Amino acid sequence: MDVLVIGSGGREYALVWKIAQSPMVGKVYCAPGNAGIAQQAECIAISTQDFDGLVQFTRDKQIGLVIVGPEDPLAHGIVDRFHEEGLMVFGPRAAAAQLESSKSFAKRLMMKYGIPTGAYAEFSDAEEAIAYVKDRGAPVVVKADGLAAGKGVTVARDVNAAVNAICQAMLDRAFGEAGSRIIIEEYLEGEEASILAFTDGRTVVPMATSQDHKPVFDGDEGPNTGGMGAYSPAPVVTPEWCAEIQRTILQPTVDAMASEGAPYAGVLYAGLMMTVNGPKVIEFNCRFGDPETQVVLPRMKSDIIPVFVACTNGSLDQIQIEWTQDACVTVVMASGGYPGPYQKGKPIEGLDDAQREGAAMVFHAGTAWDNGRVVTNGGRVLNVTACGETIPKAIDAAYAAVRCIHFEDAHYRNDIGSKALKHLGL
């Protein structure tokens, strides 16, 4: 069958790369894709918001399976639309994608069904929110309710910072409509990890564990980004905790969505805090993580296509997924200035050297072609990814590849994976 992947980042590159390895797959298309994806798949210039165009293309090319990468089209009902057209699509419907697109929806669901998460309160009035934080004190976490491209969360160390965050979201509308309602949440202490799981709405099959690095600078300093690197497995998540996460978080959430009449099929991504009282949910995402996907899929031994198909037709209980024992690390090379303003169009050198002899893979995240050269075209530019027998070996291989690549003002973290080393006593 031919497959269409919707999206244009490093996550979609990794999806295209994995899908293309399936013997069941003929041609792979990506809309809109990027310069690197164009070397693996046929990229087509249709935006992720252009549902009519995407449906038409899927029909014209008789595409057998559509995979949706980013959250925006999911929240806007792309899966509902493809279902109405009788087309096979992987991802949750809009009602189910509310787990990510409305933080208050997710919180209410977790409270109702006893799924472990921090205590919280919800506000649509700034005065009331300010009175609440003054009464409750800090630290607290202030979150815009809606989708804010990863920018709507403030971890406030003191009451002033919380008040500023409330004003920014609710009065200045820094995140537009997403901030008309906010939630204020208990600060959870611990180490974070990401668990992505496949589900068909009934059965839940977790993927290998991983850990993202959201702050821009080494040592988790500086503002949050979309993610500056990741590694898998995440040793902070012990096998015992994996079982507990499945039992207390993943399965109950999928069951709860079914009970609420919004069955959830696709990838359920749980962003977790490993607290002294066990794993608790920080947030749900309704899609593959970026950059977690770039380290999880290289470790997946099984063909991914039967898994996608089983998630769309309710037969995931028939599927076993195998993982390699290897570790995988990805380092994000970003444009100078990111996550603030940055320039585009900088020529990138050394891509072939970095991938010589298959020691590393460079998943493009934000690149374009310009007169036969690959140039930067986004904040997160490249995901330089390597596997190894151990995490230290994967780290070394990834950074050896990073050192081969050059573009003006490139920056990256030098400590991706270092938290894993601590757990391993290295």
Number of residues forming the site for ligand AMP (CB under 6 A) = 15
Q: Which does 289 bind (CB under 5 to 8 A by kind): ligand AMP, ligand GLY, none?
A: ligand GLY
The packing angle between helices 103-113 and 94-101, to 10°, is 100
Strands (E), 187-334: 191-199, 204-206, 211-212, 215-217, 221-224, 229-232, 266-275, 278-285, 327-334
H/E stretch holding 404 reads none
Residue recorded with tokens 């993943």: 250
Q: Which amino acid is at 74?
A: L
Query: Is there a contact between 334 and 381 (Cβ–Cβ < 8 Å)?
Result: yes
Distance between CA 378 and CA 372 in Å, rounded? 18
Contact call for residue 69 and ligand GLY (CB under 6 A): no
- CA Rg, the chain, in Å? 21
Q: Which does 306 bind (CB under 5 to 8 A by kind): ligand AMP, ligand GLY, none?
A: none
Contact call for residue 10 and ligand GLY (CB under 6 A): no
Contact call for residue 118 and ligand AMP (CB under 6 A): yes
Lookup: tokens for 121: 């309160």
Which alpha helices (H) appear in 246-367, and where do they start and end? 251-259, 292-296, 305-313, 351-354
Residue recorded with tokens 């991802």: 91
Contact call for residue 100 and ligand GLY (CB under 6 A): no
Q: Which does 81 bind (CB under 5 to 8 A by kind): ligand AMP, ligand GLY, none?
A: none
CB of 283 to ligand AMP, least distance (A): 4
Q: Site map for ligand AMP, 183-222, x if CB under 6 A?
A: --xxxx---x---------------------x--------
Contact call for residue 364 and ligand AMP (CB under 6 A): no
CB of 133 to ligand AMP, least distance (A): 14
Contact call for residue 227 and ligand GLY (CB under 6 A): yes
Nearer CB in complex with ligand GLY: 280/287: 287
Residue recorded with tokens 């069958």: 1
Q: Which does 292 bind (CB under 5 to 8 A by kind): ligand AMP, ligand GLY, none?
A: ligand GLY
Q: Site map for ligand GLY, 263-302, x if CB under 6 A?
A: ----------------------x---xx-x----------
Contact call for residue 99 and ligand AMP (CB under 6 A): no
Query: Is there a contact between 140 and 158 (Cβ–Cβ < 8 Å)?
Result: no
Nearer CB in complex with ligand GLY: 185/290: 290
Distance between CA 275 and CA 277 in Å, rounded? 5
Query: Is there a contact between 292 and 197 (Cβ–Cβ < 8 Å)?
Result: no
3-state secondary structure of 220: helix
Among 64, 222, 271, 392, which residue interacts with ligand AMP (rule: CB under 6 A)? 271
Among 153, 297, 307, 420, which residue interacts with ligand AMP (rule: CB under 6 A)? 153
Q: Which residues of this chain interact with ligand AMP, rule CB under 6 A? A: 118, 141, 150, 153, 155, 185-188, 192, 214, 224, 271, 282-283
